[in-house]
Amino acid sequence: MPPRTSLKRRLTLWLVVIVAGLGTLLLIEAYTSARKAADRAMDGQLEAASLTIAESLQWPEGNPTLEMPASALQILATRWQERVFYWLQADNGTTITQNADLPITEAMRAEARQGPVYLDARYDGQPIRLSGREVDSAGWDTQEPVQLWVGHTRHGRDLLARELFRKSATRFAAMVLITAALVGIAMHTMLAPLRRLRQALRDRRAEENSPLMLDVPREMQELVETLNRLFADQRHHRDALLRFIADASHQLKTPLAGLQSTSELALTSHEPGVWHQALVTVHDSAGRTSRLAGQMLSLTRLQHLGPLHECQPLALDQLMREITVDWADRQDSRDHDLGLAIEAPAPVWVEGESWALRELLNNLIDNAFRYTPPGSEITLALRGDDAWVTLAIEDDGPGVDAESLDRLTRPFERGHRQDTHGSGLGLAIADSIAGRHGSRLEVSNRAPRGLRVCLTLPRCQPPEGGAG
């Protein structure tokens, strides 16, 4: 048995996988964008401080001088009280002033010459943010650009970024929870028809086979229809079975009742002649009943037999000839005219079970004898071409009503004929055998009168070495 899988668990797993994958990406994105946003906001402070310092830079008497503006440092420190750094150098390499030996490389200075730059660096074991710009200041004696770098620690930026990140993470978590809740509700709703179907099946009694009347989504409609077809098949099968049992009981009851009344009548008399007469009647009746039981057994056995297992090529025309000769010798055939007409290219080889086809032919012939008046002409015919042959039995008897034609192959069906001792099982047995050989018994009335029963079988190759 394969391991049981739960739809819910599978959906949950998928959700978790998607959320985890998507969530990781989203959180990484949120983290970097939070840092970027914090940097953008705080770089403005660097710029303001840098501009303020640049404004104070002067060149009296050819020497650069700077009265460091206190406000610039306060701006640089921000409300998070960062450590602040500044570094001013003339382009010729002389330091103007600095409060920290910042790690300014030649590449960074070259970049700052192009325009204001903002970059991350490390100083004193701490990550810091630096901003550099080149200031052109003209004096009377000197016109030398000055590299001005300011920086501060990242405490405030980290706090800001963390706060921004926390907000996005909270939003994401809320989204995940809402999604999970919605998926949970959706799963519950979507699995509801399945639960309804389960409940409906569970509530059914064993013998109940009416179709399911359920309001289910389109995707499940097929399943319900399939189930309903199954139930319908079961119902037909069961109906047939019940009808067979009822008919069989009825068929057995009539001769048994006859036996009882005959024997009771005989017991009231002391005449041995009456007894003898009663015994003869009992004997006849028992024989018929026994035959009936035999036929019922035969039919039941056919219907419960497995697939063909003794199948082999056999010469059908040969078989028909044998049986016709056999019947012609019997006493029953004295009143009828039994003929054989092989109108197909002989020998006719078909795949089949010898005993079954024999039974089929016997039943068909017996049937024809029973339901036709004496003197009727009965013909066993075999017609066909190279591929198919049709086996038929035709009589010139009374035929049957048009509406009874289809029902004739059912058990105990006699076509409203109560004047014979037939069991009504002959054609049913024949039909079962035809079914076993992949064919069907076709019953039709002949013109001007009479009945024709036939079945069509495929021809096969003669067996190796058996053709001669």
Partner 1 sequence: MTRQLHLGLGLMLSLCLGVGGSGTARGAERLIIEAALDRQIVEPVLAAFAAENPQIDLDYRDRSTLEVDRRARDPESPPDVVISSAMPWQLALSNDGMAQPLDAPEADQWPAWAKWRNEVFGFTFEPVVMAYRLELASHMPPPETHRDLLDLLTHYRQWLDGRVVSYSPRESGVGYTLFQQDARYTPRAWDLIAAMGAANVDFEATTQRMLEGLSDGRYWLGYNLLGSYAMVWAQSHPDIIVQVPNDYSLVMMRMAFVHRDAPHPAAARRFVSFLLSQRGQHILAGQTPLFSVRDDVVGPYTAQRLRDQVGDHLYPIPINATLLAFVDPLRRQAFLRRWDRELQILEPPEQ
Contact footprint for partner 1 (CB under 8 A):
65-74, 76-77, 81, 83-84, 96-97, 99-100, 124, 126
Tell me the closest approach of the beta carbon of residue 9 to partner 1, in angstroms.
48
Tell me the closest approach of the beta carbon of residue 130 to partner 1, in angstroms.
16
First to last CA, the chain: 54
Residues 305 and 289: their CA atoms lie apart, in Å, by: 24
* Closer Cβ to partner 1, 97 or 281, answer by number: 97
* Closer Cβ to partner 1, 71 or 170, answer by number: 71
Q: Which among 222, 220, 54 has a CA at the least distance from the CA of 133?
A: 54
Token readout for 442 is 């076709």
Residue 335 CB neighbour total at 10 angstroms? 12
Tell me the closest approach of the beta carbon of residue 66 to partner 1, in angstroms.
5
Element (H, E) at 376: none
Tell me the closest approach of the beta carbon of residue 78 to partner 1, in angstroms.
9
* Closer Cβ to partner 1, 77 or 460, answer by number: 77
Tell me the closest approach of the beta carbon of residue 51 to partner 1, in angstroms.
16
Tell me the closest approach of the beta carbon of residue 19 to partner 1, in angstroms.
38
Residues 10 and 187: their CA atoms lie apart, in Å, by: 11
* Closer Cβ to partner 1, 24 or 74, answer by number: 74
Tell me the closest approach of the beta carbon of residue 83 to partner 1, in angstroms.
5
Is-cis flag, bond preceding 373, omega within 30?
no
Token readout for 400 is 């049957």
Tell me the closest approach of the beta carbon of residue 162 to partner 1, in angstroms.
18
Asked if residues 413 and 448 have their Cβ atoms less than 8 Å apart, the reply is no
* Closer Cβ to partner 1, 45 or 209, answer by number: 45
Instruction: Read off φ and ψ for residue 79, nearest 5 degrees.
Output: -75, -5
- Scored b (16 or more CB within 10 A) or e, 119-131 reads eebebeeeebbbb
144: alpha, beta or left, given left = phi > 0 and alpha = psi -120 to 50?
A: beta
* Closer Cβ to partner 1, 70 or 206, answer by number: 70
The sign of the torsion formed by the CA atoms of 399, 402, 408, 413 equals negative
Tell me the closest approach of the beta carbon of residue 163 to partner 1, in angstroms.
19
Q: Which among 67, 91, 96, 87 has a CA at the least distance from the CA of 131?
A: 87
* Closer Cβ to partner 1, 78 or 423, answer by number: 78
Residues 439 and 446: their CA atoms lie apart, in Å, by: 21
Tell me the closest approach of the beta carbon of residue 112 to partner 1, in angstroms.
21
Tell me the closest approach of the beta carbon of residue 133 to partner 1, in angstroms.
19
Token readout for 78 is 């921000």
Residue 65 CB neighbour total at 10 angstroms? 12
* Closer Cβ to partner 1, 137 or 318, answer by number: 137
Exposed, middle or buried by CB within 10 Å (0-12, 13-18, 19+), for 422?
Answer: buried
Tell me the closest approach of the beta carbon of residue 56 to partner 1, in angstroms.
9
Element (H, E) at 373: none
Residues 396 and 380: their CA atoms lie apart, in Å, by: 12
* Closer Cβ to partner 1, 23 or 69, answer by number: 69
Token readout for 28 is 């990484």
- Neighbouring residues of 298: CB distance < 8 A, sequence distance ≥ 6: 359, 425, 429
Asked if residues 183 and 15 have their Cβ atoms less than 8 Å apart, the reply is yes
Residues 46 and 132: their CA atoms lie apart, in Å, by: 9
* Closer Cβ to partner 1, 72 or 457, answer by number: 72
Token readout for 347 is 């020998």
* Closer Cβ to partner 1, 152 or 336, answer by number: 152
* Closer Cβ to partner 1, 90 or 194, answer by number: 90
In sequence order, what E strands does 264-397 have?
312-315, 337-342, 349-352, 377-384, 388-395
